[in-house]
């Protein structure tokens, strides 16, 4: 069974284990603690860091978002499917995360010898390139050509084009990180000398022939570097061991319930997904039907409610329908592999297994009451506030109207902005740019006016003493770069931490 991990990356744990509960600001019923502010700032967008008072600027937008959340509740948006379904999914994800800590991380033990071995692996950096072939026959033929003296560089260059770049077929990493990211490749290159290649290695989408281009070691480390590498070694080895324990946990759970994908449901789902995301050429080439026969004759797959109630997968004495899948998928939006029919079919099936796995894991977590763990409740509430803000913001921005006549007036008013040299460009050439500029202008007007009104409606207070104390340790960063911390695993892949919306950078 392929790895279907439900666990967050170790680096996605809370930045502050023992939080400062001092209240920095109050917005109606919501409280913003020092820990809330610092964590949000640490993982937030970079535009506030360039401000001369970065922490105060960040707090301002946290306050704005809570004002929107209060108004969303007043408008009953907390009862919308958008908010309720996502809050539930985030609660499930938090409970499963706690299950991971209890049943997986708690079982990981490391010895000093293992840690020291991993420090040595972390000191060795390797540069790798690879050739890809979709089938074993093609890979074996390529390997045979190399064995007879063909140039790896020539074969490597032949596979490059506008989509397949050098960076997409090469990597520089440490031996330890390589073992974490792809243990099979790490084992395969362990006996290679520089310039040698591995035999074909089977991957999820085909076969790889990997060449060791370079290997270098940092023999001397100062104390701070050694401490840093040792910490990294502990984190990575913990992750490697935890992943293996997790695989066994998931495999045991899935084997116990023995899920079975039903052919009819799968074919209908595949057609439904194709109708939403595949090109017509691919649908025809892969012979994926666009209609199914009913008593009333052939019906388009996406228009029939009857199809949505078909059983997609059974496990034990239970089942999930196509409708269940669509609702589950709608808030996750996984990308399907469309490089070939086989890859597409495989990726659809993987998401079905993932849905069953998520359901079983969340049920296990809920049966143990892990959704009631204080940290899970607190994190779920943070996400609930964020979703309320997004729902209210979206509702406001839907009031913006755009028409050709409106764009014409806006263009005339700002015609000097749309020039090439001294010549004004006609609206038809710059319409998309004009539309974006107009929308952002209206967005600012709508949001700033709403914030002004909400400040009158809800009480906002800031503890200036606490804010000053926190601000003393944080300086502006004129050249701050954007970093996004993503949590790809779990039952709900998402941004790892709740923080302010980067879209506020447009509202200056």
Name residues whose C-beta falls within 8 Å of residue 476's C-beta, 6 or more positions apart in sequence: 49, 50, 51, 52, 53, 54
CA dist., res. 54 & res. 474, Å (int):
8
CB 119 within 8 A of CB 234: no
- Which pLDDT does position 486 carry in this prediction? 52
Residues 275 and 228 in one domain: no
Burial group, residue 222, by CB count within 10 angstroms (0-12, 13-18, 19+): exposed
Overall number of domains in the chain: 2
Backbone Cα Rg of the chain = 27
Per-residue confidence (pLDDT) for residue 457, from 0 to 100 = 98
In this predicted structure, the answer to whether residue 301 has a pLDDT above a threshold of 90 is no
Res. 305: pLDDT tops 80: no
Residue 229 included in any domain: yes
Q: Do 211 and 284 lie in a common domain?
A: no
* pLDDT tens per residue, range 339-396: 888 889 999 999 999 999 999 999 999 999 999 999 999 999 999 999 999 999 999 9
Please say which residue of 353, 382, 413 terminates a domain.
353
433 part of a folded domain: no
Average the pLDDT over 63-75 and give the result. 98
**In a shared domain, residues 186 and 304:** no
Q: Are residues 292 and 336 in the same domain?
A: yes
Tell whether 403 is covered by a domain. Answer: no
Vertex 448 angle, CA 447 and 449, to 5°: 90
CATH number for the domain including 128? 3.10.50.40
Give 180's contacts (C-beta < 8 A, 6+ positions apart): 236, 239, 240
What residue numbers bound the domain in which 335 lies? 260-353
Is 226 inside a domain boundary? yes
Are 311 and 210 within one domain? no
Pairing of strands 207-217, 486-487: unpaired
Q: What is the pLDDT of residue 248?
A: 93
Among 126-130, 177-181, 274-278, 458-462, which stretch is predicted with the lowest mean pLDDT? 274-278
The per-residue DSSP string of 91-117 comes to HHHHHHHHHHHHHTGGG----HHHHHH
Q: How far apart are CA 177 and CA 185, in angstroms?
A: 11
Residue 100's nearest CA partner among 376, 341, 328, 303 is: 376
Above 90 in pLDDT, residue 337? Answer: no
pLDDT digit string, tens, across residues 397-448: 999 999 999 999 999 999 999 998 888 899 999 999 999 999 999 999 999 9
Instruction: Average the pLDDT over 100-116 and give the result.
Output: 94
Stretch 95-122: mean pLDDT: 94
288 and 171 assigned to the same domain: no
Q: Do 229 and 119 share a structural domain?
A: yes
Does position 158 have pLDDT exceeding 90, yes or no? yes
Of 201, 218, 248, the residue that ends a domain is 248
Give one DSSP letter per residue of 143-160, joined into a string: HHHHHTT--HHHHHHHT-
If you average pLDDT over residues 166-195, what whole number do you get? Answer: 95
The pTM for the full model equals 0.81
Q: Is residue 214 part of a domain?
A: yes
Structural domain includes residue 321:
yes
Residue 265 and residue 371 in contact, taking contact as beta carbons nearer than 8 Å:
no
Q: Please report which confidence band the pLDDT of residue 483 belongs to, taking 50, 70 and 90 as the band edges.
A: low
Give the Å distances, CA to CA, from 301 to 119, 294, 298, 308, 329.
55, 11, 9, 9, 17
Q: How far apart are CA 140 and CA 370, in angstroms?
A: 50
6-27 pLDDT, tens digit each: 333 333 443 333 457 899 999 9
What average pLDDT does the chain have?
Answer: 89
33 has which bridge partners? Answer: 23
Q: Are residues 130 and 231 in the same domain?
A: yes
482 or 107, which is more confident?
Answer: 107
In a domain, 381, yes or no: no
Contact 5, 353 (CB under 8 A): no
Give the 3-state secondary structure of residue 51.
coil
pLDDT digits (tens, 9 = 90+) for 31-45: 999 999 999 999 899
Q: Given pLDDT bands bounded at 50, 70 and 90, which one contains residue 252?
A: very high
Q: How do 260-261 and 311-315 pair as beta strands? A: antiparallel
State what percent of residues in the chain have pLDDT above 90. Answer: 73
What pLDDT is stored for residue 18 in this prediction?
A: 41
The verdict on 243 and 266 lying in the same domain is no
Indicate if 266 and 244 belong to the same structural domain.
no
Residue at 182 is within a domain: yes
Per-residue pLDDT of 222-246, as tens digits, reads 899 899 999 999 999 999 999 999 9
Does residue 485 come out as left (phi exceeding 0), alpha (psi in the -120 to 50 range) or beta? beta
Task: For residues 233 and 265, state if they share a domain.
Answer: no
* pLDDT score, position 253: 94
Position 284 scores a pLDDT of 86
501: left (phi over 0), alpha (psi -120 to 50) or beta: beta
Claim to verify: residue 176 and residue 138 sit in the same structural domain: yes
Please give the share of the chain, as a percent, with pLDDT higher than 70.
91
- Residue ending a domain, among 248, 272, 293, is 248
Residue with tokens 């879209």: 503
| pLDDT on residue 280 | 85
pLDDT at residue number 371:
96
Measured distance CA(269)–CA(247) in Å, rounded:
27
């Amino acid at each position: 069974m392929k790895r279907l991990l439900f666990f967050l990356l170790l680096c996605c744990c809370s930045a502050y284990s023992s939080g400062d509960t001092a209240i920095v600001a109050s917005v109606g019923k919501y409280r913003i603690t020092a820990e809330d502010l610092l964590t949000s700032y640490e993982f937030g967008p970079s535009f506030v860091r360039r401000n001369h008072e970065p922490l105060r600027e960040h707090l301002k937008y946290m306050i704005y978002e809570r004002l929107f959340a209060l108004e969303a509740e007043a408008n009953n948006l907390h009862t919308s499917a958008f908010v309720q379904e996502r809050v539930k999914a985030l609660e499930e994800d938090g409970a499963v995360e706690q299950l991971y800590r209890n049943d997986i991380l708690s079982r990981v033990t490391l010895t000093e010898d293992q840690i020291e071995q991993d420090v040595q692996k972390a000191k060795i950096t390797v540069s790798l390139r690879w050739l890809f072939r979709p089938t074993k026959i093609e890979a074996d033929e390529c390997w045979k050509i190399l064995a007879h003296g063909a140039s790896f560089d020539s074969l490597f260059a032949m596979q490059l084009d506008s989509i397949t770049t050098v960076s997409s077929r090469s990597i520089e990493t440490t031996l330890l990180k390589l073992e974490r990211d792809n243990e099979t490749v790490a084992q395969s290159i362990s006996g290679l000398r520089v310039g040698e290649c591995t035999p074909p290695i089977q991957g999820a989408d085909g076969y790889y022939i990997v060449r060791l281009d370079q290997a270098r070691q940092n023999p001397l480390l100062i104390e701070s570097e050694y401490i840093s590498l040792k910490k990294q070694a502990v984190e990575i080895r913990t992750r490697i061991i935890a992943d293996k324990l997790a695989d066994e946990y998931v495999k045991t759970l899935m084997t116990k319930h023995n899920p079975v994908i039903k052919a009819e449901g799968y074919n209908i789902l595949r057609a439904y997904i194709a109708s939403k995301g595949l090109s017509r050429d691919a649908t025809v080439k892969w012979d994926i039907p666009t209609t199914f026969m009913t008593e009333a004759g052939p019906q388009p797959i996406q228009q029939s409610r009857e199809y949505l109630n078909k059983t997609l997968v059974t496990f034990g004495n239970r089942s999930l329908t196509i409708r269940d899948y669509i609702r589950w998928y709608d808030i996750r939006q996984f990308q399907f592999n469309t490089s070939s029919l086989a890859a597409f079919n495989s990726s659809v099936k993987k998401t079905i297994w993932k849905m069953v796995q998520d359901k079983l894991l969340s049920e296990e977590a809920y049966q143990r009451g892990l959704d009631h763990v204080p940290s899970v409740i607190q994190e779920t509430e943070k996400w609930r506030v964020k979703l309320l803000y997004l729902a209210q913001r979206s509702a406001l921005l839907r009031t913006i109207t755009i028409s050709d006549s409106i764009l014409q007036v806006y263009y005339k008013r700002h015609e000097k902005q749309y020039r090439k040299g001294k010549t004004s460009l006609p609206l038809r050439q710059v319409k998309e740019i004009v539309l974006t500029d107009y929308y952002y202008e209206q967005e600012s007007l709508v949001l700033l006016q709403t914030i002004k009104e909400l400040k009158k409606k809800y009480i906002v207070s800031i503890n200036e003493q606490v804010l000053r104390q926190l601000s003393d340790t944080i300086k502006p960063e004129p050249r701050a770069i954007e970093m996004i911390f993503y949590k790809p695993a779990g039952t709900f892949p998402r941004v790892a931490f709740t923080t302010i919306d980067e879209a506020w950078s447009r509202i200056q």
